[in-house]
Amino acid sequence: MTNPGSMSEPENKDFYLTAISQRSKDVPWYYPPLRSLNPSALQILQAYSGIQSEEEAIAHVLRIREKAWQIFPYPCIGSYRFLDFSIHSNPLYPILLSDVSDASSPNSFLDLGCCFAQDIRRLIHDGASPSLIYGAELRPEFVELGEELFLDGDKEYGKIYTEVDVFEPSTLETVRGKDGSEFKYVHMAAFLHLWGLEKQHLVLKNVITHLLSTAPGSTLLGRQAGNKIPGEYSHPTNSDHNMFRHNPATFKKLFEEVGEELGVEWASVDVYEEGWGQGEDGEGRKVVEGHRETYFAGRDDTKLTFVVRRA
Ligand SMILES: C[S@@+](CC[C@H](N)C(=O)[O-])C[C@H]1O[C@@H](n2cnc3c(N)ncnc32)[C@H](O)[C@@H]1O
């Protein structure tokens, strides 16, 4: 478990725990101010949110990041990953989008652990029908900040349920899609990796039992951190201070085991593995001028994208 680029330094645990409770910015996943925005984020902030210039958009993003950091200093906030709109890079995206673009369709989409609900804004911006788009989030403050970030005005962006805890079935039972239905699509980005393996089992069981439609073709999709060497790694911002990082084989095994326990069969379990976009020097992709994303770009760290369809 000596992985120089990941958050797997047990000896730093106490330092990080104090830093997190004090919302200190002296942690490696708090990146310096942005000088430019990725093209997709800039497009949404201009075309959807109506912000005029890149300069204004950057100042706006930095203000929201400061507020979010005080709520909880997740790596996805400190490192601007909320501007990645990761749903767009899922291979299922074109099919998903066309399936939720016709308001008369019975198929609902849920973004579980949606945080600012950036992926929901992306879907709406690309033509999804708000009547089919739903989110669920534990912390209402993040959803409110999402409204501040995206300046929705009177735009409809779907319904977001808050104070939903994936470990509390009673809260999941309140989360329903169109006409009170369960969901054809449940999206989980940077979500399952918030826990160790045992809890990932439990989360998946709860999601499948309480949220995913029983109809054939219902689909779980998303993205999360992985590692070529699968296993339990320490993680300072996770509630149990650990995370299980999968490779495609262990991720598939997780779904097979949960499926067996629940008597659910999968038509397909597709898992795509990629690196963190190391630069030519092998030291991480450049996210901000003069600053490389080495923290998430250890030699063996990966991103896993998945699409899992019910038989
Ligand atoms: C790392 S963020 C990922 C946010 C977003 N999906 C993305 O891709 O950027 C994880 C989100 O899950 C939410 N969350 C954490 N524990 C949860 C739980 N037990 N039930 C529901 N949501 C939870 C957090 O509040 C946070 O917004």
In the reported structure, the alpha carbon of residue 281 is separated from the centroid of ligand 1 by a whole-number distance in angstroms of: 33
What is the dihedral angle through the alpha carbons of 60, 84, 122, 204, rounded to the nearest 10 degrees?
-120
CB 311 within 8 A of CB 267: yes
202-241: pLDDT as tens digits: 999 999 999 999 999 999 999 999 999 999 988 878 888 8
Give the global pTM: 0.92
Cβ neighbours, 10 Å, residue 53: 10
| Eight-class DSSP state of 32 | P
Average pLDDT over residues 242-258: 96
What is the dihedral angle through the alpha carbons of 155, 157, 158, 159, rounded to the nearest 10 degrees?
-80
Closest Cα partner for 99 from 134, 135, 132?
A: 132
Domains assigned to the chain: 86-310 (3.40.50.150)
Average pLDDT over residues 248-268: 98
Q: Atom 1 (ligand 1): residue with closest C-alpha?
A: 190
In the reported structure, the alpha carbon of residue 280 is separated from the centroid of ligand 1 by a whole-number distance in angstroms of: 32
**pLDDT > 80? residue 285:** no
The pLDDT value recorded for residue 3 is 34
In the reported structure, the alpha carbon of residue 183 is separated from the centroid of ligand 1 by a whole-number distance in angstroms of: 18
- Position in ligand 1 atom list of the atom nearest CA 86: 8
The pLDDT value recorded for residue 76 is 87
43-53: pLDDT as tens digits: 999 999 999 99
- Position in ligand 1 atom list of the atom nearest CA 111: 6
**pLDDT > 90? residue 62:** yes
109-139: pLDDT as tens digits: 999 999 999 999 999 999 999 999 999 999 9
The phi-psi region of residue 32 (left if phi > 0; otherwise alpha if psi is between -120 and 50; otherwise beta) is: beta
The pLDDT value recorded for residue 283 is 57
In the reported structure, the alpha carbon of residue 138 is separated from the centroid of ligand 1 by a whole-number distance in angstroms of: 7
Enumerate residues lining ligand 1, CB below 6 A.
74, 76, 81-82, 86, 113-115, 137-139, 142, 164-167, 189-191, 194
Tokens 């990953």 belong to 81
